[in-house]
Structure 1
Amino acid sequence: MEFQGLPEGCVATILALTTPTDVCRLSLVSKVFRSAAESDAVWKRFLPSDYHSIVSQASVPLHYASNKSLYFALADDPLILDHATKSFQLHKKSGKKYYMLAARALNIACADIEEHWSWISDPNSRFPEVAQLRWVLWLEIRGVINTRALSPNTHYAAYLVFKMIDAQGFCNLPVELSVNILGGHGSTKIVCLDPNRETPNNRIMGLQRPNERGDGWLEIEMGEFFNPGLEDEVHMSVFEIRGDNWKRGLFVEGIEVRPRNEKYATGICLM
């Protein structure tokens, strides 16, 4: 029997065993495939098992007419959660989970001291507030995420998302980034947060630099880890307390945790 002759319910069962990309492509095969590709049962298969709980935490209620429309709503734009302290998103091609912890959800040393940090709005940020570094000698930023919130059996990486405006103190400054699973694997690297590559210095020669995201922010990979699906905590940190120069002009949006080798999601198309 040719695929075009299969009952729609059977076709829907087959599509649910593929990927969102495959479903969109196979919907062009015939009317039966196109109808099956709209099935709520198919798209429920691609939504995370805890999607009801995730959607219920939205800062602004999310309205959707079908599981397919919900999937694309979660893939096209970040969903702001928990009083705007984090965001959630799906990778459009794979359905894997992304999270970004807002600056407000991070433990930033001296963040409550106005002389050192201030909280401002930024039109390019998904969150209502970002952290602006005014003047500090020591830089210390920490974040934690539970692995249960992430997709199981997936390699992840954490990224510091930030920008620099009229920055001082970073051009020749090595900064330590680390990602550690509590009681397990960990990694530490030395990087340079200054995106300007035109002023090489022996202290920072060859160090990793940030990349542009395309949404008005920079990002730099902090480290990676594998999530087997067990309950654990991932601790992420930005650390520089050995410098003897004052620093300013760093704007922190947050720390994003997304599947390894997946780029920032804006503009990804399934077709």
Structure 2
Amino acid sequence: MQNKKKLYSIISVAVASLFIAGCQVKTTMNRSELNKAFKTDTAVLVDSKKIELATKKNNSKIKVTDQNLEQLGKDQSKVLKIQDKLDNSKIVSSYPKDVSEYNQSVYKYTTMLRKGSTPKALNSQFHKTALQGTKIVKKHQDGKFDKTFKEVLAADNLDGYKLTSSEYKKAGLVLKKSKKSSSANTSEKTAKLLPKDNKQDKAKHNQAIKAYQRKHSVRVLEGLAFVSAIMVIVFIFLQPSKQDDSMNALADNGGSTLFNRPKPQGYALFLIRSTEFFMLVMVGSLIALDFLSK
């Protein structure tokens, strides 16, 4: 019975330690995860734009059908899941921050569409989101625009925002004129989107993650959290069973000493104080790690 009780105590402390660690220590989203999040947001943006174009008739407010509202709700759930993951990850470079801003901009556009905003307001928000996406591709993805994001650019161009504008040039968009035609409109449709500088951003991102992981303070705090968790389990296991003490107290003098038991002293007091100390060290280390990750 005593061994079972100690085993339950050890399991409880272990589960609590893992729960605290999971709540406090944030993970880092790698480039592959960030690229996937960006592509998902872009796909949602394109699908939402198609809904807008299908329902837009004049300059009055958009009226979205119930079927489209359901689809927009599903798309917004995907966007919110990405934002939640970004909020609970370490920000060790500008890439996660940029993707987070792009994600929020996509969510704002879909919300405006669901509420039935005017085409002018929707086009303005879509243009802002397209510029943010262009900056991300230029800065973090070597300027390689995929098919889905090219649809975003084409839709923005259709709304009257020219891809040759100063805004897009500032965002990093470079167009190569088509040899088949000198027409500006034709060249924009058949343009090859070329990368600019900052091709070393991938290496910088990986270096930033490694630099954080190599910090002396981070390693020390992680070691303290791990060692203190082990010590808490050990000291709990070494503590005497209170159930046996209670049974002995009931047997002595008909239980007269049950409510007059002396305070723990010596070895028992040492085990209790040690357990409390290492619990504080573990919790303090996890809180400090959370602070450093922000």
TM-score range, shorter chain: under 0.3
Greater per-residue helix proportion: 2
TM-score where L is the length of structure 2: 0.23
| Pair member with larger Rg | 2
Greater per-residue strand proportion: 1
TM-score where L is the length of structure 1: 0.24
